Structure 1
Amino acid sequence: MIRKEINPHFEDYVFNWEQTFQFLVGGYGSSKSYHTALKIMLKLLQEKRTALVVREVFETHRDSTFSLCSTIIEELGAQKAVQAVSSPMHIRFANGSRIIFKGMDNPSKLKSINNISLIWIEECSEVKYEGFKELIGRLRHPFLKLHMILTTNPVSKGSWTYRHFFKDELKKRFILDDEALYKKRIVTVGDTYYHHSTAEDNLFLPKSYIRQLDDMKEYDPDLYRIARKGRFGVNGTRVLPQFEVMKHETVMKQIDRISNPLKRTGMDFGFEESYNAVIRAVIDPEQKYLYIYWEYYKNKLTDDMTAKDLDELRGKQELIKADPAEPKSIQYFRQNGFNMIGARKFQGSRLQYTKKIKRFKKIFCSDRCIHTIYELQPLTYAADKDGHLKEDRFTIDPHTLSALWYALDDYEVTDLKAEPDVKQRPNRKRR
């Protein structure tokens, strides 16, 4: 008989083994990792199993997962039934169960492990998506029920954890609205159990720690959202906060109402890692609104294959401004009936083009332009080692932004700060 006091919000979780996947997301100090370690220890005391505990970097186990399991052994008074061995790190149970600790920084060592029926990925957002899928393949046993537990602090909505367990805009895949999880706290969808927690759920946490988390709201809102609220979002300073997604039909209706529409098309070239990206947009010069209504986004295609894909632009007066770093490709498209020229590219052009786009009051994007939405809606600035923003560098390489740069090459958005006050303009006499 073992008696152990646990936080009430984790009671259901600790004893729930119904689903194959169990995804725990929450803020700092919520005790999700502690209760996961406890859950696994209790399971292995009851059943003979081999559990694999994974982190991205192997050595980080020593002060986290391994330390937690060692502490729980002492708290349960189970030293006679369980032994924690520090070198190499593993835990042995008297009934034949064992816990193995591995890092994804040396994935070759995973290949020799057999009959794994339980995997815990701690800080799963740090593990690469390919690594996660590799671990699913390692989860197999001839007769025991299989389980995979993932614990994490929420990061960006662009992370694989959000796309896999909640929604993926690119693949039009929806599993669960994260807002519903924050509201209900515990949700089951199919064979996945979701659990959300914050510092309030840890009754053993000192109030001074919670006050420190609350203070983050003033000096680091992003970290406050992650650490205090335990919620996914956009990390960092957004490049285009005025970017909005709109139904395609609505975008086209709005474009039709523009009295003097300016149509622009831009193209960025790519092949292996980069992408051929084409953006068609319309400017409302009076409102200073930009409408993005059409996109093309593919890679690993030769120019002739791309030209075939873009056949609807062939033989038209529609001017395509393209990446001037690819004159050979531009010449090929020109020879094949495309009205294409190279855009300007100069020292500092990345920064100037980005500032130009930021001057639009609103940027409306058709919901059909899924790659544009994926890249530009959450796009944030990169930072240097001191945390200072780089205004011409971003956390990803956004090919749709490059295409938009070139599309707007010959258009200048009025800088509102540079406009003189109407009241200060001199009166002009009519002649």
Structure 2
Amino acid sequence: MMTMATKKEVIDLKKTIGQGYNAFWNSRDFYRVVKGSRGSKKSKTTALNFITRIMENPWANLLVVRRFSNTLKQSTYTDLKWAIRKLKVSHLWKTNESLPELTYIPTGQKILFRGLDDPLKITSITVENGILCWCWFEEAFEIESEDKFSTVVESIRGSYEAEDFFKQITVTFNPWSEKHWLKAVFFDPKTSRKGTFARTTTFRCNEWLDKQDKDRMEDLYKTNPRRAKIVCDGEWGIADGLVYDNFEVAEFDEKELIKKGYKSITGLDFGYKADPTAMINGLVNEEEKLLYICDEHYQKGMLNSEIADMLKYKGVAKQTIIADSAEPKSIEDIKRRGVPRIKGAKKGKDSIINGVTNIQEYKIIIHPRCINFIIEINNYIWDKNNSTGKTLNKPVDDYNHLMDALRYAMEMLRRKDRMKPIDKINSLKKLGF
């Protein structure tokens, strides 16, 4: 039985961790990679593992990485603090909320947090005690290129005189698309990197999920088998029959595009309990057929007042916003809350296919911060006849909230009351861009 002694009591690690991760927990392969379904406890288990390992190995320090630094505090930092409390060792750890940072008090070992939006701060990291030998990439699907990943990996170098010393890169993520570089690098036998431990986990290994959560996951196999393979089984999203296939994920300078005369567009799709409210903002060059996706919002349970506040915060409240016309009452309410140019989309016969056909003429460049848009466009596919397998002239009604918002937004190109570029630049300045 694995145990951990603290000043207060002895912790039974096996009971605390649960089932399904023994090989992962003990792996010392250089790359330790887990893709998993929602609720497969991969992040929580990884957090418990690192807190335990640092307390057992006085030479070890950990770097935690996500694509954007502003996502760290509410994800990995919170998970690691949870693990400290779960293991009942809070008296041995010092937290620093402003950085954020965690310090193991007896030895001064550190857990540091960085985002790939500031690569220079990653490559220059040093520690006072021991060596920076471990790195955890959480939600690695957000990282748009292998090169960005490799830049950080190369900073985990050096050696240490300890019999049990080892270096390791841990990668955890949800597998939304088979087109992602993670598949070839870690899961395809012919191309995967040497020294890789790779596993897929599912919600079934999480014995702490309540019955309601499990029932909801099981029900997905009946209502949406394709989504269940990704969400429940942790399998790759299959990019077969994509509605939009001319797209890429890349960083770009929004202000420079505006100065060049790109037209700003914004679309809004309403949701509430079951579906998210989805907002998309982009920049379009009609002559060159280029469409840049700059910003998004994706959230369930939003009231109209919250939607209006969000649009103001995003800096788009004064421009024309094309919203789902199925909710005219919501449109009018949001308009009265300081969003004067929100309008309903023009729906009608074949409006979906016509909107899709229009967008297909453009190359789409997506900023990496638009994670939900990336997930949707990688899973937005044409429907098929269940009997014949023949492709139908309509998309599947799934992964389409931001896709619908994009169709509405593109209607703006046919309207006269588009936002002037200088107005968009002023909005960006207010947000600190």
TM-score (norm 2): 0.51
Structure 2 residue 63 is matched with structure 1 residue 52 = yes
State the one-letter code of the partner of 1:31.
K
Structure 2 residue 111 is matched with structure 1 residue 90 = no
CA displacement at 1:190 relative to structure 2: 4.6
Question: What are the residue-to-residue correspondences of 1:327-338 with 2, within 5 Å?
Answer: none
Check whether the contact 2:186–2:198 (CA below 8 A) recurs between aligned residues: no
Instruction: Look up the match of 1:138.
Output: 155
Structure 2 residue 170 is matched with structure 1 residue 160 = no
Higher Rg of the two aligned structures: 1
Q: Distance in 2 between matches of 1:210 and 1:27?
A: 12
Structure 2 residue 13 is matched with structure 1 residue 9 = no
Out of 86, 96, 102, the position equivalent to 2:114 is 102
Instruction: Look up the match of 2:205.
Output: 201
Q: Distance in 2 between matches of 1:58 and 1:219?
A: 36
Instruction: Look up the match of 1:273.
Output: none
Q: Distance in 2 between matches of 1:222 and 1:64?
A: 27
State the one-letter code of the partner of 1:119.
C
Q: Distance in 1 between matches of 2:70 and 2:102?
A: 16
1:351/1:209 Cα in 2 relative to 1: closer, same or farther (>3 Å)? Answer: same
CA displacement at 1:166 relative to structure 2: 2.5
Q: Distance in 1 between matches of 2:73 and 2:227?
A: 25
CA displacement at 1:112 relative to structure 2: 2.1
SS in 2 for 1:233: coil
Out of 369, 378, 387, the position equivalent to 2:403 is 387
SS in 2 for 1:43: helix
CA displacement at 1:40 relative to structure 2: 0.9
CA displacement at 1:162 relative to structure 2: 0.7
Q: Distance in 2 between matches of 1:111 and 1:238?
A: 37
Instruction: Look up the match of 1:127.
Output: 143
Q: Distance in 1 between matches of 2:133 and 2:203?
A: 31
Deviations along 1:324-375, one digit per CA (max 9) or x if unpaired, are x99xxxxxxxxxxxxxxxxxxxxx9x959x9xxxxxxxxxxxxxxxxxxxxx
Check whether the contact 2:69–2:115 (CA below 8 A) recurs between aligned residues: yes
Q: Which runs of 4+ in 1 moved over 4 A?
A: 218-222, 377-386
Q: Identity of paired residues, percent?
A: 22
State the one-letter code of the partner of 2:123.
K
Structure 2 residue 157 is matched with structure 1 residue 148 = no
1:75/1:390 Cα in 2 relative to 1: closer, same or farther (>3 Å)? Answer: closer
Q: CA RMSD in A?
A: 3.8
Deviations along 1:242-266, one digit per CA (max 9) or x if unpaired, are xxxxxxxxxxxxxxxxxxxxxxxxx
Q: Aligned pairs, how many?
A: 252
Deviations along 1:209-230, one digit per CA (max 9) or x if unpaired, are 1222233345554432211011
Instruction: Look up the match of 1:30.
Output: 40
State the one-letter code of the partner of 1:106.
D
Q: Distance in 1 between matches of 2:379 and 2:404?
A: 19
Deviations along 1:85-140, one digit per CA (max 9) or x if unpaired, are 21111110122211001111222211320342100000111112221111111111
Check whether the contact 2:67–2:117 (CA below 8 A) recurs between aligned residues: yes
Q: Distance in 2 between matches of 1:86 and 1:235?
A: 40
Question: What are the residue-to-residue correspondences of 1:302-381 with 2, within 5 Å?
Answer: 351=357, 380=381
Question: What are the residue-to-residue correspondences of 1:181-192 with 2, within 5 Å?
Answer: 190-192=194-196
SS in 2 for 1:88: coil
Gaps of 5+ in 1: 168-172, 177-188, 241-324, 327-347, 355-376, 392-431
CA displacement at 1:174 relative to structure 2: 1.4
Check whether the contact 2:69–2:117 (CA below 8 A) recurs between aligned residues: yes
1:61/1:220 Cα in 2 relative to 1: closer, same or farther (>3 Å)? Answer: farther
SS in 1 for 2:208: coil
SS in 2 for 1:148: strand
Instruction: Look up the match of 1:79.
Output: 90
State the one-letter code of the partner of 1:203.
E
Gaps of 5+ in 2: 6-10, 245-286, 289-353, 361-377, 383-394, 408-433
Instruction: Look up the match of 1:118.
Output: 134
Q: Distance in 2 between matches of 1:232 and 1:25?
A: 9
